[in-house]
Amino acid sequence: MNWLVDRHKMRMPAQDEILPGRAEAMRVPERHAVLSSSIRPPYPAGSEIAEFGMGCFWGAEKLFWQTPGVISTSVGYAGGSTPNPTYEEVCTGRTGHIETVRVVFDPKLVSYGQLLKVFWEEHDPTQGMRQGGDRGTQYRSAILTHGEAQQREAELSRDAFQASLKAAGHGSITTEIHPAPEFYFAEDYHQQYLEKVPNGYCPNHATGVTLPADFFKSEASAQRAADAARAIEQAR
């Protein structure tokens, strides 16, 4: 890769560098290639959405479709400025998007905290605008939250995982955690890519560090305290 191009892709694009994109949404298959569920909304009643950026979205999506309690997964682009970008445009570094996995899950079967465990343990959240040899804004680590409860739990999990990383000699977490912006579906051939191409590119950048076993207990306590405080405030 050309050094100057690589350097350009390692920073968010300036306003005058952003590609214009298009109004038309990307066409994607109606059904998930593995789970046979719907890729696009509406999703089943009672389901929830989680979205993560953790490097190349091919392998990341497979991790989640293999997780019990997950209803559907899809890959796309989020966190940038170009509407309905193509993969080639995202790769230029001039859209600002993250390669994102959308996870639709049944909270009665798998908790958001368990999905966060997969997220933290299956990539390196300390690398900034890259994962291993994959370099650029699209590979940055991110948790794109849906609602205050997810935001709170994601931040708590970050703090718990940071303590474990530090104890293991790793650096500081660079993961973005913020409300989910618009999600643009990626092209058909990216959806469930590793089902279609079983021996396709699937790097492993896991640090070997695990989310502490007591995180779920402490998170539940924090959630109960927040809910109680909200109830008191509403009663005033």
Asked whether 223 and 153 are in contact (CB, 8 A), the reply is yes
Tell me which residue of 31, 33, 85 sits closest to 197, measured CA to CA. Answer: 33
Give catalytic status of residue 91 as yes or no: no
Q: Name the active-site residue from 19, 26, 56, 186.
A: 56
DSSP label of 16: G
- What one-letter code names the amino acid at 122? E
Separation CA 131–CA 24 (nearest Å) = 30
Cβ burial 65-79 (10 Å sphere, 16+ → b, else e) = bebeebbbbbbbbbb
Cβ neighbours of residue 233 under 8 Å, at least 6 residues apart?
Answer: none
- The bridge status of strand 142-145 relative to strand 176-179 is parallel
Active site residues: 56
